Amino acid sequence: GESVGLHLPTLSVQEGDNSIINCAYSNSASDYFIWYKQESGKGPQFIIDIRSNMDKRQGQRVTVLLNKTVKHLSLQIAATQPGDSAVYFCAEKYSSASKIIFGSGTRLSIRP
Amino acid sequence: DADVTQTPRNRITKTGKRIMLECSQTKGHDRMYWYRQDPGLGLRLIYYSFDVKDINKGEISDGYSVSRQAQAKFSLSLESAIPNQTALYFCATSDLADHQETQYFGPGTRLLVL
């Protein structure tokens, strides 16, 4: 069935390095993608989104890349900081559907 | 996000009890959602509502019911709680604009069913 998933359940990076969190999706009809960050004890928080007519979108220290050919989505965090420690979820929305489908999440931990 | 509040934040109940989780929002959004999150897993949709009195089942609606009597409030009920409903429950709101839909989540309610 169609699903949104993640290649790596956990990711450990050195403070100051760049982090890359990957996500695969299987429905080629999905045309809107979102990344959420969930810190311990809190609800998910919107980070950045991208529509399928774009390949790249940049925010503050974050960049989302979309490769529709291989149905792959990634979130890049520049100069990772301790405050970036969290679980990151990708999510997709189908063009004809009304619900957002969430992936299972990747935990990002920062080494000092 | 302080614009979306959930009560209670924590709840312990016994098997068979009826409980209600409340969600309120001040964002003025039409769409509201209830999700549950289990350890190590993503979010699973229980119910959602696109407007007052509009109710739609999500992927795991069995054992739950909801009520949307006002735009700002969306309540989730467990008619007869069972232990496998122990989870973290999130309410979310959104406003659809040009097909883009950013959801804003509440802080969550941690429920333990004994």
Residue A67 in tokens: 């490769």
Give first-to-last CA distance, chain B, whole Å. Answer: 30
Which residues of A are less than 8 Å from B56 in CB distance?
A: 98
Which residues of B are less than 8 Å from A87 in CB distance?
A: none
Which residues of A are less than 8 Å from B90 in CB distance?
A: 43-44
**What is the reported pLDDT for A1?**
34
| Overall average pLDDT of the B73-98 stretch | 92
Please check whether residue B50 touches A, CB under 8 A: yes
**What is the reported pLDDT for A8?**
45
Please check whether residue A31 touches B, CB under 8 A: yes
**What is the reported pLDDT for B2?**
67
Please list, in sequence order, all residues whose beta carbon lies within 8 angstroms of the beta carbon of residue B32, skipping any fewer than 6 positions away.
B23, B25, B48, B49, B68, B74, B91, B92, B93
Between residues B107 and B99, which one has the greater pLDDT? B107
Between residues A94 and B94, which one has the greater pLDDT? B94
Residue A70 has pLDDT above 70, yes or no: yes
Between residues A11 and B40, which one has the greater pLDDT? A11
Number of CB atoms found within 10 A of residue B29's CB? 19
Closest residue, chain A, to B10 (C-alpha): A41
- Predicted confidence band at A5 (pLDDT cuts at 50, 70, 90)? very low
Q: In this complex, do A43 and B102 lie within 8 Å of one another by their Cβ atoms?
A: no
Please check whether residue B39 touches A, CB under 8 A: no
Interface mutation vs chain A, best among B101, B104, B109, B110, most A CBs within 10 Å: B101
**What is the reported pLDDT for B97?**
66
Q: Are A3 and A69 in contact (CB under 8 A)?
A: no
**What is the reported pLDDT for B86?**
97
Please check whether residue B43 touches A, CB under 8 A: yes
**What is the reported pLDDT for A41?**
84
Please check whether residue A96 touches B, CB under 8 A: no
Q: In this complex, do A43 and B42 lie within 8 Å of one another by their Cβ atoms?
A: no
Residue A29 DSSP symbol: T
| Overall average pLDDT of the A14-40 stretch | 91
Q: Which residue has the tokens 């991208």?
A: A50
Query: B20-68 pLDDT, tens per residue?
Result: 999 999 999 989 999 999 877 788 999 999 899 899 999 899 999 999 9
**What is the reported pLDDT for A7?**
43
Q: Where are the alpha helices (DSSP H) in chain B?
A: none
How many Cα neighbours within 13 Å face the side chain of B27?
Answer: 22
